């Protein structure tokens, strides 16, 4: 863990101690070594037991990775928080999967949507498809529909769990299991960060986990409908997301780090 991140953690904890609640302090460097060869179940169980069920939440986009983690988390504790960012532009297949997953596990997602006034102003000013006009406007759309709603939910937790994997893209190759999210001043946990896509599918098939039907049509990373397309064999997993942009910059802002634009 770098010195800057440690300083951020220490400052946040010091400030939290002044109030009624105190964030659990984790030694990230030690934990990343200790859990490097542990199962996602072991990682998730540690996080839930040490941080607390109400202070941990899984961010689900209904991807195969998030479906795996939803299965793992709900088996460990059926009261775990799982949230979904409803941008209003998802595929119908994504909403169908959301419904199916809720029935399968007998739970409800926490749903967060864009602020109506902010979205209304942007669409009125730029048009309904303004995200195609420039990278700047695409990021603005992501900010309104995803980043700002994310901030609301993350303000209620001390750690969030994500289905990120190093193999997914150039922007994710240095991720670790346990991280400090300096943008939101909370911990970020990536239990399957070292898994391959094949390993994710093995879990899906082994436990008969429901997944988005678009995967059977060439989609490998599924986001909003206007910004997602199927990929050709041999292409990068996320090459179908914002395909008109440079691959080393294709993030929506949900997983940006301190210092990144």
Beta strands in 50-209 (DSSP E): 56-59, 81-85, 110-112, 159-161, 178-181, 186-189
Lowest mean pLDDT among 5-19, 34-48, 82-96, 246-260: 5-19
pLDDT in tens, 105-160: 999 999 999 999 999 999 999 999 999 999 899 999 999 999 999 999 999 999 99
Instruction: Decide if 161 contacts 187 (C-beta within 8 A).
Output: no
pLDDT beyond 90 at 22: no
Closest residue by Cα to residue 255 from 132, 134, 137, 173: 173
* Gap between the Cα atoms of 188 and 158, Å rounded: 9
What are the angstrom distances between the C-alpha of 57 and each of 44, 150, 176, 188, 189? 11, 11, 18, 10, 10
* Gap between the Cα atoms of 141 and 147, Å rounded: 9
The pairing of strands 178-181 and 159-161 is: unpaired
Catalytic residue at 252?
A: yes
pLDDT in tens, 207-243: 999 999 999 999 988 999 999 999 888 777 778 887 7
Torsion of CA 39, 74, 201, 236, to 10 degrees: -90
Is CATH 3.30.2420.10 the right assignment for the domain spanning 28-249? Answer: no
Q: What pLDDT does 37 receive?
A: 94
Q: Which helix (H) or strand (E) holds 84?
A: strand 81-85
Share of the chain above pLDDT 70, in %: 85
CA angle, 51 then 59 then 213, to 5°:
145
pLDDT in tens, 48-64: 999 999 999 999 999 99
Enumerate the β-bridge partners of residue 57.
81, 160
Residue 22 CB partners (closer than 8 Å, separation 6+): 13, 16
Q: What pLDDT does 252 receive?
A: 52
pLDDT in tens, 29-40: 999 999 999 999
Strand, coil or helix: 131: helix
Q: What pLDDT does 130 receive?
A: 94
Any idea how long the chain is? 261
The whole-model pTM stands at 0.85
Q: Which of 142, 224, 227, 252 is labelled catalytic?
A: 252
Q: What is the mean pLDDT of residues 196-215?
A: 97
110, two tokens: 């926490």
Instruction: Decide if 23 contacts 12 (C-beta within 8 A).
Output: yes
Enumerate the β-bridge partners of residue 161.
58, 189
């Amino acid at each position: 863990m770098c010195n800057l991140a440690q300083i951020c953690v220490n400052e946040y904890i010091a400030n939290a101690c002044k109030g009624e609640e105190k964030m659990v302090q984790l030694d990230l460097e030690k934990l990343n070594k200790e859990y490097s060869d542990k199962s996602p179940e072991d990682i998730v169980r540690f996080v839930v037991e040490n941080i607390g069920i109400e202070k941990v939440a899984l961010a689900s986009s209904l991807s195969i990775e998030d479906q795996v983690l939803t299965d793992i988390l709900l088996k460990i504790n059926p009261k775990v928080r799982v949230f979904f960012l409803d941008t209003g532009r998802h595929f119908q297949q994504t909403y169908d999967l959301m419904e199916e997953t809720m029935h399968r596990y007998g739970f409800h997602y926490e749903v967060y949507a864009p602020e109506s006034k902010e979205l209304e102003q942007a669409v009125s000013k730029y048009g309904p498809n303004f995200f195609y006009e420039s990278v700047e406007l695409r990021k603005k759309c992501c900010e309104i529909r995803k980043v700002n709603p994310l901030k609301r939910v993350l303000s209620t937790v001390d750690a969030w769990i994500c289905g990120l994997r190093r193999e997914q893209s150039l922007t994710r190759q240095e991720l670790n299991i346990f991280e400090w999210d300096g943008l939101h001043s909370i911990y970020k946990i990536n239990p399957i960060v070292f898994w391959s896509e094949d390993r994710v599918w093995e879990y899906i098939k082994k436990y008969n986990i429901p997944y988005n039907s678009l995967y059977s049509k060439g989609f490998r990373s599924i986001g909003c409908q206007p910004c997602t397309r199927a990929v050709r064999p041999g292409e990068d997993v996320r090459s179908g997301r914002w395909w008109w942009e440079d691959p080393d910059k294709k993030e929506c802002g949900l997983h940006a780090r301190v210092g990144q634009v």
